[in-house]
Structures are given as structure tokens and as C-alpha cells.
Amino acid sequence: MFGPGWGEGCPHCSRWADSFDGAIVHLNQRDVTMVAVSRAPYTELAPYHKRMGWRFKWLSSFGTDFNFDFNVSFTPEEVKRKKALYNFVEQDPFVSEREGVSVFFKDPKGKVFRTYSTYARGIDALNVDYQYLDLVPKGRDERGRGPVWVRRHDEYGK
């Protein structure tokens, strides 16, 4: 969503993040906490978080292997080689940061377990605007690699 030194979040991930705030209040009522994690230092995330008007909790994994451990961040060598583990298979990651969703469970003793992960098109079912777009004649209007119409919400009409 936001790699170190980027200055602003990925437009596609930002579109996703626009839907987080409304869902979190409902998730919290079922003892579920939702956070976003990006590799950029928090000092880089915070101004963008404010710019976008988001309220969800956004954590920095800067200086850790967290995003690499869950195969959503890639080294420059992996990107150059066009070969990394992503979406449970070795493939071209295209960029240094990719999308993914993981679910964790903490047992009464405090032990944490990963219970679910999905990547790439697997996360589409979790996004309401894609579900609506898939019902209309024009659909997502994808040409080439990904939807070319996607902008950060404060950039439409510019």
C-alpha cells in the first residue's frame, strides 16, 4: 500500500482503504479488530492518512520483516529477477509492494495464529465497489494491467 519513500499510497490500495472506516465499527461489535500495515515509516504514513481523511488504524512495519514474511513485499532483486513468492506461487511481483489480506486469531493464552490469507484477485470479494462494478455493463473497465480509471479519491476531476 505504501512503501518507504513513496510520498503517497498506491492509488489502487488507497481506493481499497476508502472502504475501511465504515466497516470497522461493525467489525468491532463482533470482537474483530482491523488494521492496515505498510512498510513506510509512520512519519511518512501519517500525513497521507490525514490527507485522505481516514480514521482506521494504520501501522508501520518499517524495519521489520513482517510484510516480507507474508509475501506482500519484495526485494529489489526479486522485482528485477521477476520472480518471487506471491499468492502462493512463484511469479513476477511487478512492484515492490503488493496487496494481501490476512486474518489472525489470538487464543486465551495470547498465542497468535494466522487463520486465513488471500492475495491479488482473492481480495476482490472483500471490496464492495468492485462487487457493484462487476454487475454493470461497463464493469471495472480494465484495459491492460489493472483498472486504468482508478485515482486517489482527492484526484478525480483533476
Residue 134, all three cell numbers: 462487476
Burial class of 113 by CB neighbour count within 10 A (0 to 12, 13 to 18, 19+): exposed
User: Torsion over CA of 41, 42, 44 and 49, rounded to 10 degrees?
Assistant: 140
Helix (H) or strand (E) holding 151: none
Considering only CA atoms, which of 133, 1, 122 is closest in space to residue 54?
Answer: 1
CA 32 to CA 125: how far, in whole Å?
18
Global pTM value: 0.90
Q: What is the pLDDT along the chain (158 residues), one digit of tens a residue?
A: 999 999 999 999 999 999 999 999 999 999 999 999 999 999 999 999 999 999 999 999 999 999 999 999 999 999 999 999 999 999 999 999 999 999 999 999 999 999 999 999 999 999 888 899 999 998 888 766 567 788 999 999 87
Considering only CA atoms, which of 110, 112, 151 is closest in space to residue 129?
Answer: 151
Check residue 63 and give its pLDDT: 97
Q: Amino acid identity, residue 85?
A: L
Q: How far are the Cα atoms of 22, 99, 136 from residue 4, in angstroms, in the given order? A: 27, 16, 37
Scan for cell 481499497, then name that residue: 16
CA 116 to CA 101: how far, in whole Å?
8
Measured at the alpha carbon of residue 99, what is the angle toward residues 7 and 43, in degrees to the nearest 5? 30
CA 121 to CA 34: how far, in whole Å?
20
Q: Amino acid identity, residue 118?
A: T
